């Protein structure tokens, strides 16, 4: 058995069952090992941004890592943006990067580059395997490391000769470290503050705390103390919809976030940190915690937020408190032109039960979170790191992780073009993903930001840098050219028809929702 096969077998016994990949010559022995270990499902992406984004979406829904298989430094570079998003999502990924044979590196062949430097920007753990004898153990450690806590990108760099050398043997799985329970003193402090301060507190949550259980516990805290429950602006995964506690999300724009948080005296963070603005703006604050507000850490991102919330409920004597949950209430299907509001209504009306929503709709999708809070129960995932081009790849990964659920991919057009190749993988793997392209034919956020930073009115030449027009993109044509059927919608009725078709049949489908103005 060579190193590659020992590694693949170890990954399998460690619970890694899916490999998203675009391999090259230096990874060919790993590919050959997949032949001998067919339990590992290998899924091809036509660009590495698809590969890494799929690994992110998979981890969010499967709760465990997939592995990638990338071709040297450039392949890693191509996948870097979505690894950045995965890092911000704190999900486990075993990120495998091929490398030249150990003795070949010093020759500086054309594809040689400093893989470590590139990987360090996104990885919580990096190792280059030394030889075939140790690679299986490296793999087991990479899987354990990917779990953190918190979850992280564990990058394993594999020189080609480490893969092809023999003999090698598999290694035993290494038990993952579980998130620690926050210490009692902190919980007691938060309980005392919420109970005795006489001022409403605010819980700010992300991570595992946004699952159904954590939200229900947070709802009990809120019911017992009059506190509010907020989520971060962008969440890794959140249980939403009817029957769930639906937190407000901190708005993207700093001014609006400050308004929401105004008057907060006690901010209690659960698997997140105090809010900061996404970008800096001249003359505006970057930190969004209001003056006079104390931040209390209930659980760090590396800690078990659900256990912390359960302990807090106990400490507050609130086990019998009744959280406020959404009752199912779908807006009627609208008619007429497509607007951000009518699109949100159509989606909120038609969203299937237990759907997985991947949201990279950007500005044109701003009405959807509010409108779907009372839709059928569903899971929601956001673009977590701001590196656009995550949505359609993450939808791939979510659909692979949950073949029995409908995936709804809400995708801005500008962002969608970044990893448009994901549609092909959706077609090849016959994934049950319905994509809505928000086709406003511009980077609307940039036009908005141009005004916000005080740059005045852009010239036609500058405006053209924000516009996806001249020529317009034909999204239905793009999808069809990669094997995904679709339809164009210019009215709410057409959008509804398209979504119904997408949700009714299995396999991928795309609706281009054309917004004017």
Q: Residue 189 or residue 449: which is nearer to a copy of itself going by CB?
A: 449
Q: Residue 37 or residue 199: which is nearer to a copy of itself going by CB?
A: 37
With binding defined as CB under 8 A, does residue 481 bind a copy of itself?
Answer: yes
Determine which residue in the list 12, 276, 293, 302 makes contact with a copy of itself, applying CB under 8 A: 276
With binding defined as CB under 8 A, does residue 120 bind a copy of itself?
Answer: yes
Identify residues 55-84 at the interface with a copy of itself (CB under 8 A): 73-75, 77-78, 80-81, 84
Which distant-in-sequence residues (6+ apart) come within 8 Å of 106 by Cβ? Answer: none
Q: Are 155 and 126 in contact (CB under 8 A)?
A: yes
Shortest separation between residue 82's beta carbon and a copy of itself, angstroms: 9
State the angle between helix axes of 305-315 and 212-225 in degrees (0 to 180), rounded to the nearest 10: 30
Shortest separation between residue 346's beta carbon and a copy of itself, angstroms: 24
Residue in this structure with the two tokens 């998130």, named with its chain if needed: 179
Helix (H, G, I), strand (E, B) or coil at 70: strand
Q: Residue 175 or residue 456: which is nearer to a copy of itself going by CB?
A: 456
Determine which residue in the list 117, 291, 327, 332 makes contact with a copy of itself, applying CB under 8 A: 117
Give dist(CA 142, CA 153) in Å, integer.
9
**Which of the ranges 239-247, 315-323, 433-441, 481-489 carries the binding residues for a copy of itself, by CB under 8 A?**
481-489
Which distant-in-sequence residues (6+ apart) come within 8 Å of 319 by Cβ? Answer: 220, 313
Shortest separation between residue 121's beta carbon and a copy of itself, angstroms: 5
Which tokens go with 269?
Answer: 């963070």
Shortest separation between residue 14's beta carbon and a copy of itself, angstroms: 21
Q: Binding string to a copy of itself for residues 26 to 45, with x set by CB under 8 A, is what? A: x-xx-xx-xx--x---x-x-
With binding defined as CB under 8 A, does residue 251 bind a copy of itself?
Answer: no
Helices (H) and strands (E) in the chain, counts: 20, 18
Q: Are 302 and 150 in contact (CB under 8 A)?
A: yes
Size of the site for a copy of itself (CB under 8 A): 94
The arrangement of strands across the sheet holding 238-240 comes to: 238-240, 378-382, 355-360, 407-412, 433-439, 509-514, 485-489
Shortest separation between residue 329's beta carbon and a copy of itself, angstroms: 32
Residue in this structure with the two tokens 């603005």, named with its chain if needed: 277
Alpha carbon of 495 to those of 43, 417, 434, 498, 509: distances in Å? 31, 21, 12, 5, 12
Identify residues 186-205 at the interface with a copy of itself (CB under 8 A): none
Which distant-in-sequence residues (6+ apart) come within 8 Å of 145 by Cβ? Answer: 124, 125, 152, 154
With binding defined as CB under 8 A, does residue 46 bind a copy of itself?
Answer: yes
Shortest separation between residue 443's beta carbon and a copy of itself, angstroms: 8
With binding defined as CB under 8 A, does residue 183 bind a copy of itself?
Answer: no
Q: Residue 348 or residue 468: which is nearer to a copy of itself going by CB?
A: 468
Phi and psi for 516 in degrees, rounded to 5? -100, 130
Determine which residue in the list 427, 444, 510, 515 makes contact with a copy of itself, applying CB under 8 A: 427
Identify residues 311-370 at the interface with a copy of itself (CB under 8 A): none
Q: Are 378 and 351 in contact (CB under 8 A)?
A: yes
With binding defined as CB under 8 A, does residue 287 bind a copy of itself?
Answer: yes
Identify residues 380-419 at the interface with a copy of itself (CB under 8 A): 384-387, 389, 414, 417-418
Question: Which letter, b or e, does each residue of 149-167 get, where b requires 16 or more Cβ atoms within 10 Å of its Cβ?
Answer: bbbbbbbbbbbbbbbbbee
Q: Are 132 and 6 in contact (CB under 8 A)?
A: yes
Identify residues 79-108 at the interface with a copy of itself (CB under 8 A): 80-81, 84, 88, 100-101, 103-104, 107-108
Determine which residue in the list 12, 13, 17, 113 makes contact with a copy of itself, applying CB under 8 A: 113
Helix (H, G, I), strand (E, B) or coil at 128: strand
Q: Residue 59 or residue 309: which is nearer to a copy of itself going by CB?
A: 59
Q: Are 354 and 402 in contact (CB under 8 A)?
A: no
């Amino acid at each position: 058995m060579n190193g590659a096969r020992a590694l693949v077998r170890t990954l399998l016994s460690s619970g890694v069952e899916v490999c998203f990949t675009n391999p090259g010559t230096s990874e060919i022995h790993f590919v050959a090992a997949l032949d001998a270990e067919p339990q590992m499902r290998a899924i091809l992406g036509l660009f590495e941004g698809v590969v890494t984004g799929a690994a992110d979406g998979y981890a969010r829904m499967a709760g465990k890592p997939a592995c990638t298989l990338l071709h040297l430094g450039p392949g890693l570079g191509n996948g870097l943006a979505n690894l950045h998003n995965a890092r911000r999502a704190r999900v486990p990924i075993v990120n495998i990067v091929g490398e030249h044979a150990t003795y070949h590196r010093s020759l500086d062949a054309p594809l040689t580059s400093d893989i470590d430097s590139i990987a360090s920007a996104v990885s919580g753990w990096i190792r280059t395997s030394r030889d075939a004898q140790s690679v299986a153990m490296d793999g087991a450690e990479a899987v354990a490391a990917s779990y953190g806590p918190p979850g992280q990108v564990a990058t394993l760099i594999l020189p080609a000769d480490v893969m092809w050398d023999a003999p090698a043997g598999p290694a035993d799985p290494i038990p993952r470290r579980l998130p620690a329970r926050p210490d009692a003193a902190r919980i007691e402090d938060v309980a005392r503050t919420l109970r005795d301060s006489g001022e409403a507190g605010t819980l700010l949550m992300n991570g595992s705390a946004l699952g159904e259980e954590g939200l229900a516990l947070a709802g009990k805290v809120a019911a017992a103390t009059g506190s509010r429950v907020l989520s971060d602006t962008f969440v890794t995964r959140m249980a939403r919809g009817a029957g769930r506690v639906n937190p407000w999300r901190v708005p993207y724009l700093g001014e609006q976030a400050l308004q929401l948080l105004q008057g907060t005296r006690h901010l209690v963070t659960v698997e997140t940190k105090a809010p900061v603005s996404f970008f800096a703006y001249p003359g505006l604050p970057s930190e969004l915690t209001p003056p006079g507000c104390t931040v209390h850490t209930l659980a760090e991102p590396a800690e078990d937020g659900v256990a912390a919330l359960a302990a807090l409920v106990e400490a507050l004597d609130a086990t019998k408190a009744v959280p406020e949950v959404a009752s199912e209430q779908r807006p009627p299907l609208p008619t007429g032109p497509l607007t951000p509001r009518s699109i949100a209504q159509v989606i909120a009306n038609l969203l299937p039960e237990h759907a997985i929503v991947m949201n990279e709709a950007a500005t044109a999708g701003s009405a959807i979170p509010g409108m779907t809070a009372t839709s059928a129960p569903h899971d929601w995932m956001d673009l977590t790191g701001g590196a656009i081009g995550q949505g359609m790849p993450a939808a791939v990964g979510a659909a692979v992780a949950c073949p029995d659920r409908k995936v709804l991919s809400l995708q801005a057009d500008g962002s969608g073009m970044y990893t448009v190749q994901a549609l092909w993988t959706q077609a090849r793997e016959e994934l049950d993903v319905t994509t809505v392209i928000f086709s406003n034919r511009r980077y609307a956020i940039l036009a908005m930001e141009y005004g916000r930073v005080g740059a005045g009115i852009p010239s036609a030449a500058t405006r053209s840098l924000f516009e996806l027009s001249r020529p317009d993109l034909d999204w239905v044509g793009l999808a069809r050219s990669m094997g995904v059927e679709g339809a164009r919608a210019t009215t709410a009725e057409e959008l509804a028809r398209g979504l119904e078709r997408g949700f009714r049949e299995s396999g991928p489908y795309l609706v281009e929702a054309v917004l004017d103005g």
